[in-house]
Every structure is written in structure tokens, then in C-alpha cells.
Structure 1
């Protein structure tokens, strides 16, 4: 779970990205597009200006322009690089978790697998299982826990959705839990 400092840094990075896309957006527009309160957006803008990452120019009494400085552009590039590197590491770790979990279950005799996932993670799961040498293995992909077919005793999960409170004899195995990856935007 990210610390409050990491969350602020991530929000600063997202704000820098938004400012670089359209410098004349209002604070309200920025806060809405980032899903932050207006007060938090104002705090972050002031912080970025204090760090020398953006320049604030009053165009008229109603409009303000936020420009990325050279230092801000360098910082945006640096943070984008680290974020990309982190994302690749996460995907590799998830692929490794998928491979390990499925291979272990396969060796124990399981041939039918139900995987709960959505969006890009679903694509990653499909790509990973298609490359696994597991003859006669069958994979069912569902987007939500409530769509798991009856009688399934193991569900492999890669989703933000919390598993049902009662397992009814069903095991839920997370494919995305790991602790060895540490991410910081700094």
C-alpha cells in the first residue's frame, strides 16, 4: 500500500502530465480529471511551483496558465521512465506468479482452471496461459467472482474486487500478491 508521500508524488506526476497536455486548464478542470479535491490540486500546484517544476502565469483575472519548466519536463520524463520500468517489473512478476500457480496446480492433477480478471490483466492472463506447456488444461476466464461456475473449488484471481466473504469450500488464490517490488517515483 503506498504511503501518503508516495501518493503525493504520484499525484504530482499525474498533475505534471495534465499540465503538459493543456497548460490553460483551470484548477477545477485539473482536479476533476485527476479525481482530486480542488484544495489538494491547489496544494500540488503550489508545491510544483515551489519546486520549480511549473511556472504560474496569470493571463487575465479569470485565466491562469501553468507551464512546465525545463526542470519540470526533465522530472516528468524521469518519473515516466521509472513508472514504465516499474510497470514492466509488475507485469513480469504477475506472469511469474501465474506460471508458478498454474504449474503447481497442474502438477497436482488439476486440469480445469477458472481465472477472475478484467481489462489489461485479463489480456496478460490470456497471453501467459497460452504460452504455458500444460497439455489438456482448460481455462475459463470470468470478469467477476459471482460469475464463477458452480462446483469450482479453486479460483485464481487478478482483480481489485474482493472475494466473497464466504468461500463455501472454494479457495481463492491471488495472482498479483507480491512484496518484493518496491516502487517510488523519486
Structure 2
């Protein structure tokens, strides 16, 4: 079974488990898959004994998970978690290696540019290494994250970082606003 088929199967099983009475059309809309594919997948799941159809009127058919279906859904969730955890560890190692390659000296500070998933990972690595994070910078998102108010690139000079870790594309015009004293380090993967 392909990865996409597993994801579709898991999503259908999850929706059936969560929904009181869900139609093929509702599943189609919810999962963004055409009704014919939902019908085919449900027939396959029924044949494998993972889903049971109740009712005879096609407009009122109800789907329920069997104990075997619940076990299969749990197994699929574990597979996804295991795959994603390995991916997470590989990406984190890559980020760690890039940060380790920076020649930090006493009292050096960093800022991170880009509110992204990669920024979150860089934040965790920085915390583990006890590096002084002075700002999170992004010109698109003005939010509060990890206790920091995200600031625009034009405000970076107020925080005086020695390094700016880049986690998303930095516009050329914005790059001109970075003081010469700040070394840019691209940690994107």
C-alpha cells in the first residue's frame, strides 16, 4: 500500500470514528477526495473487515469502525508518528550541525529571521546550547512566540545580535536593512 493510500485510509477511519453518521459525500468534502474514490476506499475497508456498513437505503447508510478497524487506525497512526519522528530527528540534526558550525565567542547573541517550523527547531537547538537569543524577526508576522515579540527587520539594530539565522527567504531589499555588524547564517535545509 502506498503512503498516500495509507493516509487516505487513516483519514477515512478517523472521520468514521469521529462522526456520528457521515455520508460518502461528507467524507469527500471533508477529505478533499472525489466521491468515487471514497466509495472505492470504503468498499475496500469493508471487505477487509475494518468498517461495517449499517442500513440498506444508500442515502442513510451508516459506517462504523470494527475492533479490527480501530486497531488498524492505531497502527497507521503509529507508522506516521514513527516516520515523522525520524524525519524530525534528521532535520534537527541538520539544524544543529549548521548552528555548531558558527564560530561563537563569549557573549555572542543571535536573532532568528522567519517565523517557520524551522525557526521553532532552531529555537529549541539554541535553548539546548544556551546561546543568547535576542530577537525573532519577520516582516510578515507580528506575533508573540516563545515569549518574544516578533519584530521587523528594520528593528534588528535595537537588539544588536552578532548573528542572524535565516529560516526563510530573505528579500534583497530587507537584507539591506541589516547592519554590517550582523553576520547572516542561512540554516535552511
Q: TM-score range by the shorter chain?
A: 0.5 to 0.7
Q: Deviations over 1:60-113 (max 9, x none)?
A: 4521111112221111111122222233333333322222112213459x9544
Unpaired runs of 5+ residues, structure 1, are 158-162, 176-186
Report which stretch shifted further, 136-145 or 95-104: 136-145
Aligned length: 163
Q: Is the 8 A contact 2:114 2:166 kept in 1?
A: yes
* RMSD of equivalent CA atoms: 3.6
- Pairwise mapping of residues 84-95 of structure 1 onto structure 2 (< 5 A)? 84-95=81-92
Q: Name the CA shift for 1:25/1:116 in 2 (closer, same or farther; >3 Å).
A: same
Give the CA deviation at 1:12.
0.6
Higher RCO (C-alpha under 8 Å, 6+ residues apart): 1
Question: Once the 2 structures are TM-superposed, how far is the Cα of residue 124 of structure 1 from its aligned partner?
Answer: 4.1
Distance 1:55 1:104, change over 3 A: same
Q: Given the superposition, is the C-alpha separation of residues 61 and 90 from structure 1 closer, same or farther in structure 2, using an over 3 Å criterion? A: closer
2:166 to 155, 162, 167: 155
TM-score norm. by structure 2 comes to 0.65
- Matching residue within 41, 66, 70 for 2:67: 70
Which residues of structure 2 form unaligned runs of 5+? 142-150, 157-162, 176-183
Aligned residue in 2 for 1:56: 53
Show the counterpart of 2:8. Answer: 11
Find the structure with the greater CA-based Rg: 2
